[in-house]
Structure 1
Amino acid sequence: MNVSTPFPSAETVQQITADIIELVECESHSYDRQGLDACLSLLIDLTERRLGKPAEMQRYPGGEQGDIVTLTYPGSGTGHIAIIGHYDTVWPRGTLAAWGERSSQDDTGRLRLSGPGILDMKTGVVQGIWALRLARESGLQVPTVTFLFNGDEEIGSLASRKVIENVTAPLDATLVLEPSHHGAVKTERKGVGLFKVIATGVESHAGLNPAAGASAIHAMAEFITAIIAAADPAKGTTINAGLIEGGTGSNVVAGRCAVQFDIRVRSLDEQARIDTAFDAATVSDPRVKIEVRHNWNRPPMELTKASQPLLEHARQVASELGFALQNVAVGGASDANFVAGLGRPVLCGLGAVGDGAHARNEFIYADMTGRQTALLTGIIQRLANGI
């Protein structure tokens, strides 16, 4: 498809940057409902300022976390895509006031803009809004676009997962505005398992009658050792026993022990293998009962045949803009995992270029804002009539 991708003017980039700063300065920690509500209101207002009133808006309850909102803008083409961004951050209210320097230059003189959530992922959200605006202003066909903004991504998208799956399942493609990997898009992400294992033993006095007891802690030590051996880093499979609690006193044979595991896998095959490994693991004392609570928070995102054409569209746009677009696999998960789990076309990492996500030096490169917005604009144009 021969499409001329519009690159935003210097004045437009200034407006995009101003919108980014406005959104960053509205603090929205994942557990701060008041801040989340304020940020979502601002985000809806910002979207309407730049794109007008949506043809349809739906709001879904987020429980104790931020609500989920979808805003649909009809296109002139037959295609229909979703653009997903989360507005929650890992930073509690008050972080901004103590943040320190917000603008600086690196060793090469490039301007860095810093602030809580600026990279992950408020810049991407703003760029997505402006990309649709520029695509519409180009006079070329555009698809119908449904924006989905959620306020619980940083804590697992527990309320928004079903909304994401239901909204994106029938659509042609989904673009996720997570930060890029130094400019590269993300086509593979690990699936995340959050398992809890509980051992129940028999309590007894550790000094007077130790043989009468069956230690849940001793058994769990065996279990952890066995299950860690099931990891396969060469295949991208890692298992971490991150939290452990149990027992009632040092002189009591422990009657209970619980461990929370973080598991990362690159493929559905590995996910199934790990499920089997947890269920098959045994301990030497038959009096100790082991309960495994499986919980795959996100399925793995793999670069499938469904998503490959979407990547090719993105590469064509990048080539037109004068650069070669790379794609990478990363260990972290995102809402793109849910879409990939449905077998639907999805591309992630289309947001900001910078570094320091979840760190006090979180920043974006200001000179990449225009390019990233143009990349999104071109992809939207190429999806006017579907993939």
Structure 2
Amino acid sequence: MRKCIDDVLKILEEFVNMDSGSYDKRDTDKFTKIVENEFKKAGMAVSRITQKDVGDFLECRVGQGDRQILLLGHMDTVFSSGTAKIRSFIKKGDLIYGPGVLDMKGGIVVLLFAIKNIINVLPKNTKLLVFLNTDEEIGSNYSKDYILKNARQSIACLSFESAKPGTLTTERKGIISFKMSVNGISSHSGVNYNMGKSAIKEIAYKVCDLYNLVDIEKDITVNVGTINGGQKVNIIADHAEAFIEIRYFNIGDGESLKRKIKNIINNNHVEGTWTNIEIISERMPLVSNERCEKLFDIAEYTAEKLGKEIKPRKTGGGGDVSFAAMCGIPVIDGLGPEGENSHTEKEFVNVDSIPFRIKLASQIILNIANGGL
């Protein structure tokens, strides 16, 4: 086991010390090549799906059966080029720090070693398809169709995003991410004040209207991440824009929120301004159902056999597993290592969680393959 952990940490260190920000294709393609080689060495047939605007995707296959299990992960991180050099992989006691170590390079390593564990004992009626994209952190607009296609051909989907201690993820929030652009009329703020129609004033009203959609009891949240507008202090702004995301758990709330957003966009506070909206990305929520509950029961039973207790967990984060769930197949998420503080300088993985997560994923896959579903 010590040798196995040493091998795991060696590969994890190599992964973490490579930048793979979603918006940097050059960095991400270099990392994709490293990941591609590791899955080939594990015994999988790997296809690289070339992309123009984001890093290339990977499809890794093994097995010839007609029962396909889809295994999901993403190779991109939220961090910009050069981050890995500034704060590289470091182990402090039982914790490992580094950009993307939790979200989700640790998950890719767990997936890789789970495959290594079972590749020679996979039932003949089963095949595994690993799909790894590079645009998850920016909404998966380029990879969504690949996930949907692969999910439609699968009997189940396991996702290797990170986990909280003692949990697997069974529900995720849906996300509506959009850009709001307001146009007005520019004028001199002193000489021709009344001629101006301030886009900044209008967007300020609309931002407040959007924040009024927050409903803590229903777990509906709104975040205006950035606002830009105007040129100089003595010019009434003729343009302003904001980037916004809204998150929710209930599918019905998503439809209601879309109608409310439309009303906010169409309702002007400053006469003479007009507003446009551009949807950047949209993810449906992951909602647990009877088939997903059965898959969790398999995971729970498997964990018990390994001497651990696993509980279901809801999270406000979105994920690609939601696309697979849209196809009606049972899904489960959070099979990656345990840790905290994703997307921050304090992001870490608990080393002790890695061996169990590898065993858990391996056995869940085998239990599904052997007719558990």
Q: Fold conserved (TM > 0.5)?
A: yes
Distance, in Å, in 2 between the alignment partners of 1:253 and 1:203 is: 5
Picking from 78, 92, 97, the partner of 1:104 is: 92
Picking from 233, 246, 254, the partner of 2:237 is: 254
The match for 1:6 is none
Instruction: Provide closer, same or farther for how the CA distance between residues 245 and 140 of structure 1 changes in structure 2, counting only shifts above 3 A.
Output: closer
Q: Deviations over 1:212-235 (max 9, x none)?
A: 333222222222222221221221
The match for 1:186 is 169
Classify the secondary structure of the residue corresponding to 1:40: helix
Deviation at 1:63, TM superposition (A): 2.0
Instruction: Provide closer, same or farther for how the CA distance between residues 283 and 86 of structure 1 changes in structure 2, counting only shifts above 3 A.
Output: same
Instruction: Provide closer, same or farther for how the CA distance between residues 86 and 247 of structure 1 changes in structure 2, counting only shifts above 3 A.
Output: same
The TM-score, its normalising length taken from structure 1, stands at: 0.87
Of stretches 85-94 and 309-318 in structure 1, the one that deviates more from structure 2 is: 85-94
Of stretches 61-70 and 84-93 in structure 1, the one that deviates more from structure 2 is: 84-93
Classify the secondary structure of the residue corresponding to 2:247: strand
Picking from 65, 86, 89, the partner of 2:54 is: 65
The match for 1:108 is none
Q: Deviations over 1:123-145 (max 9, x none)?
A: 21122122123224457667310
| 1:348 matched to 2:348 | no
Amino acid across the alignment from 1:112? L
| 1:382 matched to 2:367 | yes
Of stretches 88-97 and 360-369 in structure 1, the one that deviates more from structure 2 is: 88-97
Distance, in Å, in 2 between the alignment partners of 1:277 and 1:102 is: 46
Matching of residues 300-311 of structure 1 within 5 Å: 300-311=285-296
Amino acid across the alignment from 2:346? N
Classify the secondary structure of the residue corresponding to 1:72: strand
Classify the secondary structure of the residue corresponding to 2:157: strand
Q: Deviations over 1:352-386 (max 9, x none)?
A: 11223222232222222111011001110111147
Cα pair 2:122 2:366 within 8 Å, conserved: no
How many residues matched?
370
Cα pair 1:79 1:383 within 8 Å, conserved: no
Superposed CA RMSD: 2.3
Q: Deviations over 1:319-367 (max 9, x none)?
A: 1111110121111112112222333322111001122322223222222
Amino acid across the alignment from 2:115? L
Classify the secondary structure of the residue corresponding to 2:226: strand
Cα pair 1:174 1:347 within 8 Å, conserved: yes
Cα pair 1:30 1:154 within 8 Å, conserved: yes
Amino acid across the alignment from 1:171? S
Distance, in Å, in 2 between the alignment partners of 1:336 and 1:148 is: 11
Deviation at 1:75, TM superposition (A): 5.4
Distance, in Å, in 2 between the alignment partners of 1:360 and 1:204 is: 44
Distance, in Å, in 1 between the alignment partners of 2:78 and 2:246 is: 21
The match for 2:354 is 369
Distance, in Å, in 2 between the alignment partners of 1:372 and 1:194 is: 32
Distance, in Å, in 2 between the alignment partners of 1:196 and 1:20 is: 36
Instruction: Provide closer, same or farther for how the CA distance between residues 139 and 47 of structure 1 changes in structure 2, counting only shifts above 3 A.
Output: closer
Cα pair 1:20 1:123 within 8 Å, conserved: yes
Matching of residues 315-354 of structure 1 within 5 Å: 315-354=300-339
The match for 1:3 is none
Cα pair 1:197 1:292 within 8 Å, conserved: yes
Cα pair 2:201 2:270 within 8 Å, conserved: no
| 1:234 matched to 2:217 | yes
Identity among equivalent pairs (%): 27
The match for 1:134 is 117
Picking from 133, 152, 158, the partner of 1:150 is: 133
The TM-score, its normalising length taken from structure 2, stands at: 0.90
Tell me, which stretches of 5 or more residues in structure 1 are unaligned?
1-8, 106-110
| 1:174 matched to 2:157 | yes
| 1:85 matched to 2:77 | no
Instruction: Provide closer, same or farther for how the CA distance between residues 136 and 216 of structure 1 changes in structure 2, counting only shifts above 3 A.
Output: closer
Tell me, which stretches of 5 or more residues in structure 2 are unaligned?
none
Amino acid across the alignment from 2:31? C
Q: Deviations over 1:149-178 (max 9, x none)?
A: 112222222322221122122211111111
Instruction: Provide closer, same or farther for how the CA distance between residues 96 and 249 of structure 1 changes in structure 2, counting only shifts above 3 A.
Output: closer
Classify the secondary structure of the residue corresponding to 1:198: strand
Cα pair 1:132 1:380 within 8 Å, conserved: no
Classify the secondary structure of the residue corresponding to 2:342: coil
Cα pair 1:248 1:254 within 8 Å, conserved: yes
Larger relative contact order (CA 8 Å, sep ≥ 6):
1
Of stretches 34-43 and 323-332 in structure 1, the one that deviates more from structure 2 is: 34-43
Amino acid across the alignment from 1:265? Y
Amino acid across the alignment from 1:380? I
Picking from 104, 108, 128, the partner of 1:125 is: 108
Of stretches 310-319 and 276-285 in structure 1, the one that deviates more from structure 2 is: 276-285
Amino acid across the alignment from 2:117? L
| 1:32 matched to 2:21 | no
Cα pair 1:135 1:142 within 8 Å, conserved: no
| 1:42 matched to 2:59 | no
Picking from 85, 99, 113, the partner of 1:116 is: 99
Distance, in Å, in 1 between the alignment partners of 2:89 and 2:73 is: 26
